[in-house]
Amino acid sequence: MTSCRLCGSADLVSVVDLGSTPPCELFLTAGQLDEPEVTYPLHLRVCTNCWLAQIPSLITPEETFTEYAYFASFSASWVEHARAFVADAVERLKPSFVVEVASNDGYLLQHVVERGVRCLGIEPSANVGQAAKDKGVPTVTEFLTPETGAAVRAEHGPADLVVANNVYAHIPDLIGFTEGLRALVADDGWVSIEVQHLLTLMELNQYDTIYHEHFQYYTVASAQRALASGGLSLVDVELLPTHGGSIRLWARPEGVAGEVSDNVARVLTREKTAGLHDLSGYADFAARVARVRRDLLRFLIAVADEGGTVVGYGAPGKGNTLLNHCGIRQDLLAYTVDRNPYKHGRYTPGTRIPIVAPERIAQDRPDYVLVLPWNLREELSAQLSYIHEWGGRLVFPIPHLEVV
């Protein structure tokens, strides 16, 4: 990677090098275990000019998202999050036309339809977009670019509110995507974006959320600059607990934006204090990541030496960054379980740990369950409390090793 994708500067500094791993959603079938597996470097760097943290774009979104297996509506808590957002935004902004980019299966826009407000989803995966249409959510199959944004505006009119959740990290052409948002939104309209916050990623050692589908990682400072690259001005920000710590950015076209809110100033100050607007905050991250790895491996090896058993809970994308980076194989983690039947009988990419149904835990009564989706800690602690019946314990690897 020779230059920053936002500002073009050549001054990129290494934050953490996680080695080379396969794409984190490519779960293997039994038949693929004897075949070679392609890996890609996973090296996070930060630009010392605009402070955008980024990895090289080695996998295109077209490869990942044209036929996609993720349906947002499977997560009840995410659908509720979207419902609450729509209730608030429609009440406050009173839009007559809402567009959502990466609208998935209509998990959010279904609530806009319910309120009788005209809307349109823009979703690149045809199979996922079809699920939205089946719910009565109008959807076009497109990637957002300046051209497709302009075409949607010409056909459907400008949007009073444009929503883009969990997509701003997934697009290597970040300037083109932002210009696309500007093309969609009315000249006096609003854009709302939710994306993971680099501040919590750094503070809480969430290094497993770094994977190939996430091309960049935002502070509010770098997001503000990214928005400006497409003619949008940041006016407000909210801090959200989703994905271990996210930001909801509110932006408007330049010229109507007015003054930025106190919230923006407050979060910028927190980022600056954490050293994320200079190199100091990044300097020890690689050492903290190495510590997470050593602590987890030391624990797993000690349990194995004593003849104990450890199994995993969950097979999320981020679990695969952790398993690959730590070099954990079946001798240290017998299997992992997942609620998604698509993954049953498959193996984790790179580390080839079998994935089975959750019922297996109650049958086998392992000594420890390593929780890979640590962002659902509260929910899973309750759901897995039955393992305490036989003295089983839960293991959380991040932000630092905890056995409870």
Helix (H/G/I), strand (E/B), else coil: 337 = strand
Our CB check for Zn ion shows the closer of 50 and 117 to be 50
- Which CB, 65 or 217, lies closer to Zn ion? 217
**Alpha helices for 59-117 (secondary structure H):** 61-65, 76-93, 109-114
Q: Is 4 near Zn ion (CB under 5 A)?
A: yes
- Segment contacting Zn ion by CB under 5 A, of 8-16, 123-131, 132-140, 229-237: 8-16
CB of 157 or CB of 275, closer to Zn ion? 275
CA pair distance 221, 100, nearest whole angstrom: 24
Closer to Zn ion by CB, 7 or 260: give it: 7
For Zn ion, the closer of residues 9 and 280 by Cβ is 9
Q: Which helix (H) or strand (E) holds 304?
A: helix 285-305
Give residue 243's identity as a one-letter amino acid code.
Answer: H
Nearer to Zn ion, 176 or 399 (CB): 176
Binding residue for Zn ion, selected from 1, 7, 169, 274, defined by CB under 5 A: 7
Which range in 44-52, 238-246, 341-349, 363-371 contacts Zn ion by CB under 5 A? 44-52
Considering the complex, what minimum distance in angstroms separates the CB of residue 234 from Zn ion?
17
- What is the H or E stretch that residue 182 is in? helix 174-184
- Cβ at position 45, least distance to Zn ion in Å: 10
As a whole number of angstroms, the distance between CA 365 and CA 189 comes to 55
Rounded CA-CA distance 66/101 in Å is: 15
For the bound state, the minimum distance from the C-beta of residue 11 to Zn ion, rounded and expressed in Å, comes to 8
CB neighbours of residue 401 within 10 Å: 16
Which region, judged by CB under 5 A, interacts with Zn ion, from 7-15, 114-122, 303-311, 371-379? 7-15
State the Cα–Cα distance between residues 37 and 240, nearest whole angstrom: 37
User: Are β-strands 97-101 and 118-122 bridged in parallel, bridged antiparallel, or unpaired?
Assistant: parallel
Binding-site string for Zn ion from residue 45 to residue 64, where x marks contact by CB under 5 A and - marks none:
--x-xx--------------
Q: Is 6 in the site for Zn ion (CB under 5 A)?
A: yes
CA distance 37 to 28: 9
> Contacting Zn ion (CB under 5 A), which of 3, 9, 96, 130?
9
User: Which one-letter amino acid corresponds to residue 294?
Assistant: R
DSSP letter string over 133-199?
Answer: HHTT--EE-----HHHHHHHHHHH--EEEEEEES-TTS-S-HHHHHHHHHHHEEEEEEEEEEEEBHH
DSSP 293: H
Q: Which stretch binds Zn ion (CB under 5 A): 40-48, 91-99, 183-191, 349-357?
A: 40-48
Nearer to Zn ion, 49 or 261 (CB): 49
> Of the ranges 2-10, 89-97, 303-311, 371-379, which one interacts with Zn ion (CB under 5 A)?
2-10
- Site size for Zn ion, by CB under 5 A? 7
Contact between 252 and 181 under an 8 Å Cβ cutoff? The reply is no
Structure tokens belonging to residue 93 = 């902004």
For position 3 contacting Zn ion by CB under 5 A, the verdict is no
Q: Which helix (H) or strand (E) holds 174?
A: helix 174-184
Segment interacting with Zn ion (CB under 5 A) among 3-11, 32-40, 248-256, 295-303: 3-11
Contacting residues toward Zn ion, per CB under 5 A: 4, 6-7, 9, 47, 49-50
